[in-house]
């Protein structure tokens, strides 16, 4: 259950740093920009620039390296798999470095593998840093503001944000309830951890049915409680916390945009100067 909690609620660590204090919109946009650039970059130099930026951000946010590594752990085998695939089954031709039976490892394929591996690492690292420095609530707020302009073309910005808020509120409650039901069923001899996969799946039914019934009852009661507190959707609604795009956000956006631009300039252009 702890595992689920971490998975769904992110791994936000409340620390007071310049990065943590940034407007969530800045953090979301910067992350999106970096992700896009990572896909567009063609050269090692670009990846190096982005890496330097990410490390600098992580240091400024006072993130313990252990947290970053923990974020990377689930990815480890995917990374190994991608690299191996690229090394052994990359494009034919090029300069062979060594051969092993029918398998030829070329310099080009090795370089490609390193490039893809590095890129994958950066993609995960940047989103990990983002979730470490942004609380889910801030993220929701930021997303709502960012999507608001698109409301006119039918993006339900407020409803999405309200759904996320309620999910954040009720996930711990529902997990507690699941634990309680599980224990109650186990006390009556139910097995959740033994047997074949179909058996285990079937064993989940007596857990899921009461959980869903309970969730629907909660949803009903919550809807009434929200109405009783004058809720009528996003219109005319104000917020206690107002997001402020301050000078520090301008600095952050500029730095990220500059790094992104540099990362995209091919090294040949550098040498030209």
Partner 1 sequence: MRAAPSTVSPLITVRDVHFVYPAGGGVGTPALAGLDLDIAPGECLAIIGGNGSGKSTLAKHLNALLLPTAGEVRVDGRDPEGAWLARQRVGMVFEHPDNQIVAAIVEEDVAFGCENLGLPSAEIRARVDRALRVVGLEQLRRHPPHQLSGGQKQRVAIAGVLAMRPRCLVLDEATSMLDPLGQQEVMEIAFRLCRDESLALVLITHAMEEAARADRIVVLAQGRIVLQGSPAEVFAREDELRRLRLEPPELVRLGRALARDGVAVPPGALTIDPLVEALIAGP
Residues interacting with partner 1, by CB under 8 A? 136-137, 165-166, 168-169, 172-173, 176, 217-218, 221-222, 224-232, 236-242
Distance of CA 108 to the CA centre of its chain: 32
Nearer to partner 1, 239 or 273 (CB): 239
Nearest approach, Cβ of 21 to partner 1 (angstroms)?
15
Nearest approach, Cβ of 240 to partner 1 (angstroms)?
4
Nearer to partner 1, 72 or 171 (CB): 171
- In terms of Cα–Cα distance, which of 130, 149, 126 is closest to 139? 130
Nearer to partner 1, 202 or 217 (CB): 217
Nearest approach, Cβ of 205 to partner 1 (angstroms)?
24
Nearer to partner 1, 169 or 200 (CB): 169
Count of alpha carbons within 13 angstroms of residue 261, beta-carbon side: 6
Nearer to partner 1, 8 or 186 (CB): 8
Nearest approach, Cβ of 108 to partner 1 (angstroms)?
50
Nearest approach, Cβ of 178 to partner 1 (angstroms)?
13
Residue 184 and residue 197: Cα distance in Å, rounded? 22
Phi-psi region of 47 (alpha: psi -120 to 50; beta: other; left: phi over 0): alpha
Nearest approach, Cβ of 68 to partner 1 (angstroms)?
25
Nearer to partner 1, 64 or 163 (CB): 163
Nearest approach, Cβ of 70 to partner 1 (angstroms)?
22
Nearer to partner 1, 78 or 226 (CB): 226
């Amino acid at each position: 259950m702890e595992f689920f909690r971490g998975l769904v609620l992110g791994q936000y660590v409340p620390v007071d740093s310049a990065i943590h204090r940034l407007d969530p919109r800045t953090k979301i946009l910067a992350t999106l920009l970096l992700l896009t650039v990572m896909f567009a970059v063609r050269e090692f130099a670009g990846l190096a620039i982005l890496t330097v930026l990410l490390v600098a951000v992580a240091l400024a946010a006072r993130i313990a390296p252990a947290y970053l590594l923990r974020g990377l752990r689930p990815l480890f085998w995917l990374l190994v798999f991608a690299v191996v695939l690229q090394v052994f089954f990359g494009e034919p031709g090029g300069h062979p470095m060594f051969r092993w039976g029918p398998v030829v490892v070329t310099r080009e394929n090795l370089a490609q593998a390193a490039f893809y591996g590095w890129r994958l690492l950066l993609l995960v690292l940047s989103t990990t840093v983002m979730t470490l420095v942004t609380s889910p609530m801030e993220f929701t707020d930021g997303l709502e503001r960012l999507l608001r302009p698109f409301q006119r073309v039918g993006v339900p910005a407020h409803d999405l944000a309200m759904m996320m808020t309620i999910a954040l509120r009720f996930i711990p409650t529902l997990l507690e309830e699941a634990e309680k039901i599980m224990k109650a069923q186990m006390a009556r001899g139910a097995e959740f951890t033994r047997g074949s996969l179909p058996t285990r799946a079937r064993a989940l039914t007596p857990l899921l049915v009461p959980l869903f019934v309970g969730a629907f009852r909660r949803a009903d009661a919550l809807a009434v409680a929200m109405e009783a507190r004058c809720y009528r959707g996003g219109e005319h609604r104000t917020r206690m916390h107002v997001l402020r795009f301050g000078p520090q956000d301008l600095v952050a956006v500029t730095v990220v945009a500059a790094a992104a631009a540099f990362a995209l300039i091919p090294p040949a252009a550098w040498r030209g100067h």
